[in-house]
Structure formats: structure tokens, C-alpha cells
Amino acid sequence: MAVLTVNDLCKTFGAGTARSNRVLDHISFDVRGQTFVSIVGPSGCGKSTLLNIISGVETHTSGAISVTSDDGRPARLGYVFQDPRLLPWRTVRKNMMYVQDKDDEVTRGRVDRYLDMVGLGKHGDFWPGQLSGGMQQRVGIARAFAVEPDLLIMDEPFSHLDAITARGLRAQLQDIWAQSKKTVVFVTHDVVEAVELSDRIIVLQPGGRIYEDITIDLPRPRRQSDPAVATLQAEVLARLEKMKAMTPQVAASV
Ligand SMILES: Nc1ncnc2c1ncn2[C@@H]1O[C@H](COP(=O)(O)OP(=O)(O)OP(=O)(O)O)[C@@H](O)[C@H]1O
């Protein structure tokens, strides 16, 4: 069943003015439950705008979008941003509990379980300021999964981290995702990252159209050192280079 359905979606900023800017142009796709889908594309192609529309902080100009739960209740969304936005005056565990509806034993147990999954089971009573940037982002990831969302939106969660930390977090994200099988929409600039993590990659092109919708059919867990992963990464990168060559104005913006 589709958790996210995007149907003929358009977004124009400043519609009807001299500065009218069409950012998403008749986009249609859906995301089935328990799949990990990445949205990639050059800077300015509308990735963040699409996420903002999915999460409801931005309106769309036309078309339709819906997020559904599997049991008919209002769909619950979870978010992981570039910056984990932890409240510095709350401990790690209290940051995790802050976004939960209930403060009962089941919820506390779930929060501790997700903290464990990201390797921070012993850090629940730490203050955010006592953690490294990578550890803070792990808390952000655990916090989002612990909400048990119908759809988890991740907006370039590793882009502020150094390459080694990001690689470790990608491996951890794969593990936590394999255990929880949440439906994820993940935005990234990084095709290599997208191939490592995703069941499917939707490539947006400048002007906000879907250029390609690529199925990534590789066994998990995937590691950078795996030749099959590296081969597919090279192939998808080559396809993006082709897109850039076809739209020369992109080259300057990537
Ligand atoms: N609130 C807004 N008002 C007007 N224009 C906007 C607004 N938000 C975004 N835009 C424009 O929409 C286009 C797409 O922006 P968006 O941030 O969605 O792209 P992106 O693919 O996420 O880029 P990046 O990868 O650099 O984050 C850009 O031309 C941007 O200037």
C-alpha cells in the first residue's frame, strides 16, 4: 500500500507576479510502505520544497498529495534535519521524550531501545553539549524513529558531518532501518549515499521534473567496500552526469 502519494504536483512561487518561479512541475510518484526512497538532484531543483509540501509547512499550487497510515488514523510524520536541533537544557532522553505523545513505561522503553540501536544506550542522561556532532545526529535519528512514524522524512541528515562520521552513521541508519522498516523519504545531494541506502532513487532535474526513477535492487546491508554497490554508484553517477550535460545550466549550480 502507498504511504505517500504525489499526484501531478506543481509548485510556483510568486504565481501571477513578474517573479513567478515554477519549482515543481507535474510531479507524480508514490512510495509504498516499508521502502526507503531517496530524492536526489542538483541544487535548486526543488527537493526541499517537495519535502516542505509533504510535511505541510509549504502549500502546493496544484495537484494532490497524501500521506496515509495503515490503520486509518491520521498519519504520523517523523523528521530528521541536517541539524538535530536538540534542546540544550534537556538531557538526551528528555529530548527523545519531548516529541512523544505519552510518558509511560512502554514509551520510555521504546525510547531506550532506539537509543540503544544507535549505540547511545548509556548516554540517556547526558546533556547534548556533552556529545559530539555525530552523536547528536544519532540522537536525532533515534528520536525520529522512536516516534514510530508512518513516514519518516530525512533532509540531508549527514551533510554537516565529516566523511568518516557520515559513513558510520549511514551504516547505523541501515541497521536501524532494517530493524524498524519505516517508510523513509530521504533527500540528499549525494548519489553514492543514495545508492547505499535506498530501494529507489527519484532524480529531480532543474525545473522540478522527474528525470528518472531508479530501482536499487541490491542485497542489504550494503557497504561502500562492496563491488556491486560501487558499480551501481558509478552507473547512477554517470546517468546524472548525462542529465547535467543535457541541461548545461545545471553544471554551474552543482
Ligand atoms: N519561500 C520561497 N520563496 C520563493 N522562492 C523559493 C522559496 N523557497 C524556495 N524557493 C526557490 O525554489 C527553488 C527550489 O528551491 P529548493 O530549496 O526546493 O531546492 P533544493 O533542490 O532543495 O536546493 P538545495 O539542494 O540547494 O537545498 C529555488 O529556485 C529557490 O530559490
* The pLDDT value given to residue 31: 96
123: CA distance to ligand 1 center in Å? 37
Ligand 1, closest atom to CA 50? Answer: 18
Distance CA 12, CA 25 (A): 8
ipTM above threshold 0.85: yes
pLDDT at 245: 81
Set of cell numbers at residue 103: 510518558
- Nearest-CA residue for atom 29 of ligand 1: 44
Question: Which pLDDT belongs to residue 42?
Answer: 87
**Residue 230 CB neighbours (<10 A):** 15
Nearest to 211 by CA among 194, 183, 236, 186: 236
Question: What's residue 254's pLDDT?
Answer: 44
Tell me how far the alpha carbon of residue 214 lies from the centroid of ligand 1, in angstroms: 24
Give, using CA atoms, the residue closest to atom 1 of ligand 1. Answer: 13
For residue 251, the model assigns a pLDDT of: 46
Looking up cell 528518472 gives 212
Binding-site residues, ligand 1, Cβ < 6 A: 13, 21, 23, 41, 43-49, 189
Measured CA to CA, the distance from residue 141 to residue 135 in angstroms comes to 10
CA distances from 213 to 29, 157, 198, 204 (A): 9, 22, 12, 9
Counting from 1 in the atom list of ligand 1, the atom nearest the Cα of 58 is: 1
Where the chain has pLDDT below 70, the residues are 248-254
Helices (H), the chain: 47-55, 92-98, 105-117, 133-146, 163-180, 191-197, 227-246, 248-253
pLDDT of residue 249: 58
Sort strands 21-32 and 200-205 into parallel, antiparallel or unpaired. unpaired
Cα 168 to middle of ligand 1, angstroms: 29
Domains of the chain, each with CATH number or no CATH: 2-76+183-253 (3.40.50.300)
How far is residue 249's CA from residue 35's CA, in Å, rounded to a whole number? 33
Answer whether 39's CB lies under 8 Å from 204's CB. Answer: yes
Q: Which of 21, 160, 240 to mutate to test the pocket of ligand 1 (most atoms within 8 A of CB)?
A: 21
- Asked if 91 contacts 124 with a C-beta cutoff of 8 angstroms, the reply is yes
The residue length of the chain stands at 254
How far does the centroid of ligand 1 lie from the alpha carbon of residue 76, in Å? 25
Distance 197 CA to ligand 1 centre (A): 25
